[in-house]
Amino acid sequence: MNYKTIEFLLLQLEESFSKSRSNIYSEVKKEQHFRELYQLFKSIRDSEYRRLRGNELYVHFNILTYIFKGLEYLDNSTLNVIPYEIVSCLEKALSDWIRREDFIVVTSLSNRNLDFYFESGYSEEYFQGLNKYVSKFYGTTITHRLIRIGLPKVLARDYLSCVALYHELGHFVDNELNISKKLLLETYKTDNPRKSPSTFMYYSHRTEYFADLFAAQYINDASDSFLNYIAYDEPDSQTHPATAKRTKVVQEFLSNQYCMEKNDFNKVLKASGSPQLSLRHNSIDVSNSDFIDLVPQNLENDGQLHYIFKLGWDIWKESDDNFLKDFKSRQKHQIINNLIEKSISNYTISAQWKKLNDGTIQ
Amino acid sequence: MGPFSRKRRSGTILKKEILNLIEKKKLVVTPLLDKNQIGEMTMDLRVGTDFLSLHQGREAYIDSTTDEINRRPIKSHFTETRRKLGETFLLHPSQTILFSTLEYIKLPANIFAVLSMRSSYSRLGLTVSTIFQPGYCGCFSIEVVNTGNTAIKIMSGARIVQARFVRLKNTSDYFSSNRKYTCQVRPVPSKANEDEELIKLKGLLEN
Amino acid sequence: MFLAKSTSYFQTQVPFYIKVLENLIDNKDLDEKGGIDSAIFEAKEVAKGNKQVFSIGKEHYYFVTTLLTRYKDNLLDLEGNSFDEETYSGILEILK
């Protein structure tokens, strides 16, 4: 690598910024993040980067890649495209695990169907290293970290499918708290999942079980319902446990039976001083739900907010026999999605309005 | 009917009865952020967060006569955009926009709603004309035209329209026919081209 | 990922650690000596069995676990909680 690589990246970024500068995010944190990324880019561009050598080149390649990634996600996180309602639910779940103020949930919309993912790579350790470096050499810092979640563009408003995002958020929390990594280190005495096929499989399966259990805390078995639609009867693979095993672990957790995976994770969480995996939702009985009257659910607390996805799935599964039976198939799906969306937005807007009137928002 | 029973009359219903219907969950309005939205004979409704604005694209006209896969759908003539409550939206002169009310409403089977602009906004040159049938459920999707020659900025969450609720003598069954706009929470472009009767009408030409 | 796992194991923080260690060895910048020394100390404590793997902090997680898996024998020989250039040089070698 030489300085031309850095120059090349800077030119690409120049182009990228020229497109992104007109974005309107409707969120102070995102606007601030954009300005900070631009400031960092400008400082590097205006520096004597042609004189960089050795490790400094890698550091700069790394920083510019970080800026690029940030822009990619910011571009896909304007109010017009981000699935705002589900992200607001994810942010509430997140606050059980980390200091929410330090993070921004951003999304990248994929053209590939079923392309749900969490993009790791920039840990707390990286972020601190980056900030110490850029503060020392460029007099600038980045305030927030991004939680980068990818989802299919066509499913951004499909709330029955978007339950997968709770699972993806679980990957973030796992990564952030190093849960599966610690289990790998303890069990196989390595920090490298790719050391052997068995370490890779062990580690990958831990991450999936953790993400499944994380999701189940909030949305019960809704994530499993979706999984069984798209990966019914899938056997074990290197990256994922068999669907039947995943379902079994979630069921053990939900029914409060002995669940080895949960116990292992909770041991790590306890030693790390983090919260335990536990049920964090409040159920709503389908027969008493407001959906039956074709109106949004009046949600009373965050636990019910998360459960709305489970309610939606339960109603969808029975929709050929329940109050939706006389609607066309497409309408059934739309009605459930619309009622979920409005239930969430009513809950968040009413809470904000109440805070405003209580004087807690200035 | 006994001498003390009250016979419900048809016509516009007033504040006390609106409150009573809401209390009994016969009329659903959610979220009702402020009870002051309910006036003596109307209820103020707020601009929601989603907008559709009509734009001129490569097609010379909107084809409301067909829903065939090889024709551009009506929704492609609209640009969808969102705002948070408190953010603003600009209406250009002669522009038609669609927005949903913030409130999700379910009307009883014997009450319909007539929507009009609040006078503060109609004085700016904004017009609206919509009726919602008894039994309707969903956010009201509203077409607004800026008939003036100056752009007007409106705020998401502002009380811009008012609904008058009118009772009928008899009830009607909203779902007795196929409903295209059930439980909508975002503005929906016209579905004029999905009218099943259009196919029948075309059939007249073939016979 | 829901179906196919994200496999981003690329250790993006390594160049920053290399820079810090190079500075410490050259006596150019000692600002981060405290942070690096406490991370080495934490690794040493885990290696000696005085601290649980599950309790490793997240601030220097990659650095600590790299030392544990690739520098363990040396950790067992370390004493105290402040380290010298020789230690930093040895660690720099494994990071490069």
Residue A54 inside a domain? The answer is: yes
Range of the domain at A139: 1-154
Are B100 and B50 in contact, with CB atoms under 8 Å apart?
yes
Q: Which of A299, A339, A305, A341 is nearest to A319 (CA)?
A: A339
How much of chain A is in helix, strand and coil states, percent to nearest 5? 65, 5, 30
Q: Which candidate from C18, C54, C60 shows the least CB-CB separation from A271?
A: C54
Is B143 noted as a catalytic residue in this protein? yes
Tell me, what's the pLDDT at C7?
A: 42
Name the closest residue on chain A to residue B139, using Cα atoms.
Answer: A342
**Of A134, A154, A174, which residue is a domain's last?**
A154
Contact A349 B87 (CB under 8 A): no
Cβ of residue A133 closer than 8 Å to a chain C Cβ = yes
Rg (CA), chain B: 19
Cβ of residue A230 closer than 8 Å to a chain C Cβ = yes
Q: Which of B17, B23, B87, B143 is catalytic?
A: B143
Residue A166 inside a domain? The answer is: no
**Of A131, A154, A177, which residue is a domain's last?**
A154
Q: Is pLDDT above 60 for C5?
A: no
**Of A154, A181, A209, which residue is a domain's last?**
A154
Rounded to two decimals, the ipTM of the complex is: 0.88
Helical (H) or strand (E) element with B132: strand B130-132
Q: Which residues of B touch A84 (CB under 8 A)?
A: 82
Q: Chains contacting A with at least 3 CB pairs below 8 Å?
A: B, C
Name the closest residue on chain C to residue A169, using Cα atoms.
Answer: C1
Tell me, what's the pLDDT at C29?
A: 78
Are C76 and C47 in contact, with CB atoms under 8 Å apart?
yes
Question: What is the per-residue DSSP string for B4-38?
Answer: TPPPPPPEE--HHHHHHHHHTTSSEEE----GGGB
**Region C36-57: what's the mean pLDDT?**
95
- Testing the interface with C: which of A58, A191, A199, A201 to mutate, by most C Cβ within 10 A? A191
Residue A345 inside a domain? The answer is: yes
Residue A102 inside a domain? The answer is: yes
Other beta carbons within 10 angstroms of residue B130's beta carbon come to 15
Residue A343 inside a domain? The answer is: yes
State how many domains chain A has.
Answer: 2
Residues of chain A with pLDDT under 50: 362
Give residue limits of the domains in chain C.
Answer: 34-95
Cβ of residue C16 closer than 8 Å to a chain A Cβ = yes
pLDDT in tens, chain B (207 residues): 445 545 567 799 999 999 999 999 999 999 999 999 999 999 999 999 999 998 877 778 888 888 888 777 888 888 999 999 999 999 999 888 999 999 999 999 999 999 999 999 999 999 887 899 999 999 999 999 999 999 999 999 999 999 999 999 888 877 777 776 789 999 988 888 888 888 888 888 876
Q: How far is A212 from chain B (nearest CA, A)?
A: 30
Q: Is pLDDT above 60 for C88?
A: yes
Cβ of residue B192 closer than 8 Å to a chain A Cβ = no
**Region C39-57: what's the mean pLDDT?**
95
**Region C65-80: what's the mean pLDDT?**
92
Helix, strand, or coil here: B153?
A: strand
pLDDT digits (tens, 9 = 90+) for A304-338: 999 999 999 999 999 999 999 999 988 999 999 99
**Region C12-32: what's the mean pLDDT?**
89
CATH 2.70.40.10 at B11-57+64-169+180-206, yes or no: yes
Q: Which residue has the tokens 């983090």?
A: A274
Q: How far is B28 from chain A (nearest CA, A)?
A: 8
